[in-house]
Amino acid sequence: MSWETVIGLEVHAQLSTNTKLFSSASTKFGSEPNTQVDLVDLGLPGVLPVVNKDAFKKAITFGLAINADINQESTFDRKNYFYPDLPKGYQITQMTLPIVEGGSIEINVDGNIKTINITRAHLEEDAGKSIHDAYPDKSVIDLNRAGTPLLEIVSEPEISSAKEAVSYMKALHQLVTFLDVCDGDMSQGSLRCDANVSIRKVGDSELGTRTEIKNINSFKFIEKAINFEIKRQIKVLENGDKVIQETRLYDSLKDETRPMRSKEFANDYRYFPDPDLLPVIISDDEMDEIKDSFPELPNDKSKRYISELKIDENEAQIISSSRELSIFFELAVDSESDPKLAANLLVGEIGSLLNKDNIKINESNLSSDNFNTLLKRISDGTISKKIAKTVLADIWDSGKDADEIIKNQGLVQIQDESIIQDIAQKILEANPDQVAAFKAGKDKLFGFFVGQVMKETQGKANPKSVNDILKKLLS
């Protein structure tokens, strides 16, 4: 029997605001436990929430990017349940009237473009963290994360494989990082997803019973967890059993999903409008402001690089697909530095250095200013492209200024043609056999002579001059 899979994803993107959704405490990751909390986050008696408009700006920016409807009046509801890391005993979320509704995201699976529709994206506060393994006899709570703004992005059940789910997640990742809505750091939980998975017989119109896999936090695990779950469900159905609607956890060590304690999650959340918060109204002026500061998206960037800067298409796509790379690129390129050269080095040399160290460009020793200097020195002939790579390697390790490296190591290109001519003359005199062979028609030996001159000058001779001079001498 053949089965088809239906998947819907609920992605939680932690919005990169400075402060929390309803308090002025910082959202910085990795601080000492319980240091990023104020009275509101603690849920003290008598405290009240006040919305962070910046979180709304980010949510709206996302909504605009996916062509969604923006509810300029949206509301907050309370989701009631008891848990120690939920200080108020309820989570404030947007159940009834979310800020973003509709829209879609394009994904690319093996060259095929597919559109995944978005149901809604709503704002809500994150909970704190319960820590069960720090002490032998007690659990403790860290409320640093409590109140951090999340955008929950809910897709329609239109994803039909684990591979598509990963593509969708990657597309979302690229989008939210580009929009500067979320830092996209999945290992820190900034972007995580719940997958609703069900299967049905090919051709069936009704959906099968779904299970929800909670809190998957890497592209790899999304694929593995969903694939495990599909296989498991097929096995259940083919054995004549029924899939139970439940919440499951993915265990990456065992590569399996298993049910979470169902009792804990069989909650009636008793949603109702939060009486502490009035409907949030976004004015037309505020909407205009958000639209005006809307960032250029990868596709538009790529097109602009190709048409305006005459960058190679492949390179343009690589640079524009990463927010960090494109920012770096745009900062480094100016009227005195060649964009084509910049793109070429960025994708080639620098790309492989980044891969080797597994870091992002903004985490490297190379600043855009320094890269700009390097590009200028190539353009103005101070150094050759080949020497530039040596300088780059040095910057990569030391972070030193390009000019300083060029000066201290004496890497300035030899421009004086009489010097090059003297060296070339000596090389030819020292290799009479090769000269004879070249003259007899062995053209390939020209490279040998160039190489010898470069070797003698430690690569500093201007390559074009070397070519010209050798041609003249050998003719």
Partner 1 sequence: MSIKYKTLSELKELLEKKDISSFELVEETFKNISSSKTNSFITLNEEVALTKAKEFDQGECEGDLAGLPIAQKDLFCTKNLRTTCGSRILENFIPPYNATVVENLSKAGSICVGKTNMDEFAMGSSNETSYFGAVKNPWDLERVPGGSSGGSAAAVAEGLVCAATGTDTGGSIRQPAALCGITGIKPTYGRASRWGMIAFASSLDQAGAFARNAEDCALLLNHICSHDEKDSTSLSNDKENYLENINNDLKGKKIGIVKEFDISNLSKEVQDSFEQSKKIFESLGANFVEVSMPNIKLSVPTYYVVAPAECSSNLSRFDGVKYGYRAENVNDLEDLYIKSRSEGFGDEVKRRILIGTYVLSAGFYDAYYKKAQQSRRMIKNDFVKAFSEVDVIMSPSSPSSAFKIGSKTEDPIEMYLEDLFTISSNLAGVPAMSIPHGFSKNLPIGLQLIGNYLEESEILNFAHQYQKNTDWHIRNPDSGDNS
Between 97 and 473, name the residue whose CB sits nearer to partner 1.
97
Between 81 and 120, how does the x/- string for binding to partner 1 read (CB under 8 A)?
Answer: -x-x--xxxx------------------------------
Euclidean distance between CA atoms 183 and 13, whole angstroms:
9
Between 80 and 431, name the residue whose CB sits nearer to partner 1.
80
CB 99 within 8 A of CB 63: yes
Enumerate the β-bridge partners of residue 112: 109
Count of residues engaged in binding partner 1, rule: CB under 8 A = 28
- Applying CB under 8 A, among 270, 340, 386, 455 the residue interacting with partner 1 is 270
Contacts by 471-475 with C-beta closer than 8 Å and gap 24+? Answer: 473/421, 473/424, 473/425, 473/428, 474/428, 474/435, 474/438, 474/439, 474/446, 474/449
Between 272 and 294, name the residue whose CB sits nearer to partner 1.
272
278 forms part of the interface with partner 1 (CB under 8 A): yes
Euclidean distance between CA atoms 258 and 212, whole angstroms:
11
33 forms part of the interface with partner 1 (CB under 8 A): no
Q: Which residue has the tokens 């999340």?
A: 150
46 forms part of the interface with partner 1 (CB under 8 A): yes
CB 211 within 8 A of CB 197: yes
Supply the minimum distance, in Å, between the C-beta of residue 98 and partner 1.
18
Dihedral class, residue 381 (left if φ above 0, else alpha if ψ from -120 to 50, else beta) = left
Using CB under 8 A as the binding rule, the residues of this chain from 420 to 439 that contact partner 1 are none
- Applying CB under 8 A, among 4, 47, 75, 364 the residue interacting with partner 1 is 47
Euclidean distance between CA atoms 461 and 221, whole angstroms:
52
Supply the minimum distance, in Å, between the C-beta of residue 139 and partner 1.
8
- Applying CB under 8 A, among 30, 45, 203, 447 the residue interacting with partner 1 is 45
134 forms part of the interface with partner 1 (CB under 8 A): no
333 forms part of the interface with partner 1 (CB under 8 A): no
Between 42 and 366, name the residue whose CB sits nearer to partner 1.
42
Enumerate the β-bridge partners of residue 438: none
Euclidean distance between CA atoms 166 and 55, whole angstroms:
26
Interface ranges with partner 1 (CB under 8 A): 39, 42-51, 78, 80, 82, 84, 87-90, 141, 268, 270-272, 275-278
